[in-house]
Amino acid sequence: DAAAVYPAAGRRRWHVLLFPLPYQGHINPMFRLAGVLHGRGFAITVFHTDFNAPDPARHPDYRFVPVPVPDGMSGPAPVAIEDVVAHIDAMGRACEAAFRDRLAAVLEEYSRDAVACLVADTHLLPVFEVATRLALPTLALRTGSAASYACFAAYPMLCEKGYLPVQVQDLQLDMPVNELPPFRVRDLIHIGKDSHDLMCEMAARLVTAVTKLSSGLILNTFDALERRELEGVRRDLAVPVFDIGPLHKFSPVGGSSLLCQDRSRLEWLDAWAPESVLYVSFGSLASMSARDLVETAWGIAGSGVPFLWVVRPGLVHGCASEGSHQQQLPEGFEAATRERGRVVAWAPQEEVLRHRAVGGFWTHSGWNSTTESICEGVPMLCRPYFGDQTGNTRYVEHVWRVGFEVGGDLERGSVEAAIRRLMTDKDGAEMRARAGELKKAAAVCTSGKGGSSCMAIDKLVTHIMSL
Ligand code: UDP
**Segments in 309-451 forming alpha helices (H):** 325-328, 333-337, 349-354, 367-375, 389-394, 412-423, 426-446
> What's the pLDDT band for 390 if we cut at 50, 70, 90?
very high
Distance from residue 24's CA to the centre of ligand 1 (Å): 7
Whether residue 372 has its Cβ less than 6 Å from ligand 1 = yes
Is 121 catalytic? The answer is yes
Atom of ligand 1 nearest to the CA of 369: 20
Among the listed residues 121, 187, 223, 388, the single catalytic one is 121
Whether residue 220 has its Cβ less than 6 Å from ligand 1 = no
pLDDT single digits (tens) 422-463: 999 999 999 999 999 999 999 999 997 799 999 999 999 999
pLDDT of residue 10: 45
Please state, rounded to an integer, the average pLDDT across all residues of the chain. Answer: 93
pLDDT single digits (tens) 123-138: 999 999 999 999 999 9
Distance from residue 163's CA to the centre of ligand 1 (Å): 30
Element (H, E) at 152: helix 146-153
pLDDT of residue 253: 60
Compute the Cα dihedral for 57, 62, 65, 70 and give only its sign: negative
Tell me which of 354, 368, 393 to substitute to probe ligand 1's pocket, judged by most ligand atoms within 8 Å of the beta carbon. 368
Residues 6+ apart with CB under 8 A from 125: 92, 205, 206, 208, 209, 213
Whether residue 284 has its Cβ less than 6 Å from ligand 1 = yes
Whether residue 52 has its Cβ less than 6 Å from ligand 1 = no
Whether residue 377 has its Cβ less than 6 Å from ligand 1 = no
Return the higher-pLDDT residue of 316 and 307. Answer: 307
pLDDT of residue 409: 93
Is 427 catalytic? The answer is no
Among the listed residues 26, 123, 325, 355, the single catalytic one is 26
pLDDT of residue 5: 38
pLDDT of residue 8: 44
d(CA 290, CA 1): 55
Report the pLDDT averaged over residues 296-306.
98
Whether residue 347 has its Cβ less than 6 Å from ligand 1 = yes
> What's the pLDDT band for 71 if we cut at 50, 70, 90?
confident
Distance from residue 349's CA to the centre of ligand 1 (Å): 7
Report yes or no: 344 and 352 within 8 Å, Cβ to Cβ: no
DSSP symbols for 164-211: SS--SHHHHTT-B-TTSTT-BGGGSS---GGGHHHHHHHHHHHHHHHH
Residue 65 pairs with which residues in a beta bridge? 47
Whether residue 349 has its Cβ less than 6 Å from ligand 1 = yes
Model-wide pTM > 0.90: yes
Q: Is residue 325 pLDDT above 80, yes or no? A: no
pLDDT of residue 319: 67
